Amino acid sequence: MLLSKLYTNANASSKRDPIKKALLEQVEKKKKAIAMSPEKQKEAYYSSIRFANKRLPLHKHTVETKFERYLATFSYRKQQSYALHAKAAKHLPKIATILKSYGIPEDFKYIPLIESDMNPQITSHRGAGGYWQFMPATARLYGLKVGAGLDERKDLVKSTHAAARYLKSLYGEFNDWTLVAAAYNIGGGSLKAAIRRQGTSDYYKLRLNQETGSYVYKLASMKQVIENPNKHGYKRYAKLDDKYQNINEQNLL
């Protein structure tokens, strides 16, 4: 109550004292300038970044450096194209709906953008194919027909249902969505072996092959570029509000 009275008195006296009022306005202006500085903007933005509802440990220098590398790779400056956003707008809503029906976090919808660039005709040198880049054996295991002139890995809806079943199975093994993403890339058995050998189940501490070690970073970066187009140089989408700004901008003030 005493502090309240003092603050009220200070406000009242500042109205009577134009010099004091000007000083208070300067203090408020300085506080706002600090809050809106590039450093604070970056800090607030990075604190908002999640993958599968789990915050990325961007306070660690090695994690921040690696994340920024892939964020730059997917930025407009590097891509010089709006193809990513066009493909996302066309396919991701349908993928997200299917994943949700299985209880899979929405962020996994970015896998086909990373794996196949949403091109079902792509086949890897190892034989992985379709939107989700399934190996033939894994595709069959999760209900897809592959062979005899038919390849359901190229069917977006059917392959997404299969991917959702596979992801759910991996979650049953690892009970951690970040590890599920890594296991999707390297395989559950190989990831378990790495965890057992290295004595840690922290993805960001595990020493994995380059592709798997960068997989979650790529997914998280792709998510940021798609959800915050204006922030990452995709000015054609400037009329859309970036998700980060909607959620966090006022917290900076």
Side-chain-facing half-sphere of 145: CA atoms under 13 Å: 3
Query: What residue type is 74 in one-letter code?
Result: F
How many Cβ atoms from other residues are within 10 Å of residue 42's Cβ?
A: 12
Task: Give the distance, in angstroms, between the CA of residue 202 and the centroid of all CA atoms in the same chain.
Answer: 18
Write phi, then psi, for 196 (nearest 5 degrees).
Answer: -65, -45
CA separation for the pair 185, 204 (Å, rounded): 15
Terminal C-alpha separation, the chain: 26
User: Residue 206, SS3?
Assistant: coil
Of 168, 184, 172, 181, the closest CA to residue 223 belongs to 181
Given a contact cutoff of 8 angstroms between Cβ atoms, the answer to whether 113 and 88 are in contact is: yes
Which among 202, 194, 237, 227 has a CA at the least distance from the CA of 82? 237
Which ranges of the chain would DSSP assign to H, the alpha helix? Answer: 2-16, 18-35, 38-47, 61-73, 76-79, 83-101, 111-115, 136-141, 156-174, 177-186, 188-198, 210-213, 215-227, 243-248
pLDDT tens string, the chain, 253 residues long: the values are: 544 544 455 555 545 677 777 666 666 766 665 556 778 888 888 999 999 999 999 999 999 999 999 999 999 999 999 999 999 999 999 999 999 999 999 999 999 999 999 999 999 999 999 999 999 999 999 999 999 889 999 999 999 999 999 999 999 999 999 999 999 999 999 999 999 999 999 999 999 999 999 999 999 999 999 999 988 888 876 666 677 664 444 433 2
CATH (residue range 52-252): 1.10.530.10
> pTM of the full predicted structure?
0.82
